[in-house]
Amino acid sequence: MIAWVTSRQAAYKKELPFIFLISGLSLLAYFLYPHPHLAMWFGFGVAGYSAIANDSIQTLGTFLSSNKKLPWWALWLFIGGILVLTFAFGWSINNGDPAFGRLTRIPQPDAFTFVTLAAPIILLILTKLKMPVSTTFLLLAAFSSSVVIKKMLTKTLLGYGVAFGVAIVVWSIIAVLAKRNVISKDYNKKLWRPLQVCSTSVLWWAWLMQDTANVSVFLPRALSFNQLIIAVTYLFAVTGFIMYRRGGGIQEIVTEKTDVVDLRAATTIDFIYAIVLVIFKYINNIPMSTTWVFLGLLAGREIALTMLSRKNEPYKTTGKLVLRDILRAGMGLAISLMIVVYLM
């Protein structure tokens, strides 16, 4: 009993800085929400970090897992450079809108409430709890109409189903080839390393085109050049901090899956995920949850490997992994819908 109390006290002390951070941000949100100009930058700042930190498992998780030996600053320059170029490209071709038209159906907020500013703070808490929630629903739902939310939900569930089905087909083929020794455990890392760099680049670019809207929703729909510089500089710094922390604790969502540290597995996951995101980007300009697409991809992959690979991974274990990811993401979706109901 004494040992349990001591361990609880140690854990509490360890989390004190985070508790103070959340308390401070909540107080700032309360005092800033009546002032739209200050509130929009506050919301953007918190959302910029919380969205990238939570979604880094989808886009950068496999890349970080298979490149643990590379220095963090090298990863930062690579990932941050793509972010800067994508953000600037979207701004230049869309008349100052870096969100690639994803906010066309969501009006620019001219006033904020405490709840809308609290949404990215809630996302910070969920990220700390290692929950891969839908940042799209959590951050955009408070600004969207019920019609737009319904379309977002429909597109998201369709994306999950497509990613799930594609993953089962692809990894079933891979598993069969592995059984027949067509694919060996030994491979040329010098060949696969540049392929992974390409797949990560395409995926990060595709994700940014989809989810830049999640952080830009707080800002004007057309940014001035000075506003662009401020936004890009901040997001570049955020990316550096996340690379320094190697993705943080939420990275476990990826590392607990089968063989994601294998370059070939990581590269294949990234390429398929990127293709699905690009396809759904051009279907329409309705935002969608990339988190659910990613979880569908991982779920289909795990099930295919369990059924057909030479490993005797129990169905019960795989089912728990899939169900746990869905419950985590579903909790974030439920919270975002509760925020919408409260605001309505």
Q: Is the residue at 5 inside a domain?
A: no
Q: Is the residue at 16 inside a domain?
A: no
pLDDT at 173: 82
Q: How far is CA 232 from CA 77, 80, 126, 235, in A?
A: 14, 10, 25, 5
Q: Is the residue at 226 inside a domain?
A: yes
Q: Is the residue at 297 inside a domain?
A: yes
CB 239 within 8 A of CB 79: yes
Q: Is the residue at 61 inside a domain?
A: yes
> How many residues appear in the chain?
344
- Long-range (24+ apart) CB contacts under 8 A made by 86-94 are 86/204, 86/205, 86/208, 86/209, 86/212, 87/208, 87/212, 87/228, 87/231, 87/232, 87/235, 88/228, 88/232, 90/208, 90/209, 90/212, 91/223, 91/228
pLDDT at 4: 47
Residues contacting residue 144 through CB under 8 Å, at least 6 positions apart: 105, 106, 152, 340
pLDDT at 325: 66
What is the pLDDT tens value at each position of the chain, 344 positions in all?
A: 455 445 556 666 778 888 999 999 999 999 999 999 999 999 999 999 988 887 766 677 767 776 778 898 998 999 999 999 999 999 999 889 998 888 888 888 888 989 889 989 988 888 787 776 778 888 887 787 778 888 888 998 899 899 989 988 888 887 777 666 666 666 677 788 888 888 888 988 988 888 888 889 999 989 999 999 999 999 999 999 988 887 665 555 555 554 555 677 778 888 888 898 888 888 888 888 888 888 888 788 777 777 655 555 555 565 666 676 667 667 766 776 776 666 55
Q: How far is CA 175 from CA 189, 199, 260, 307, 322, in A?
A: 20, 21, 15, 9, 19
Q: Is the residue at 115 inside a domain?
A: yes
| CA dihedral sign, ordered 69, 267, 88, 294 | negative
> What predicted TM-score, i.e. pTM, was given to this entire model?
0.83
Q: Is the residue at 187 inside a domain?
A: yes
pLDDT at 185: 67
Q: Residue 74: which domain range?
A: 33-343
Residue with tokens 């992959």: 301
Q: How many domains in the chain?
A: 1
DSSP code of residue 70: S
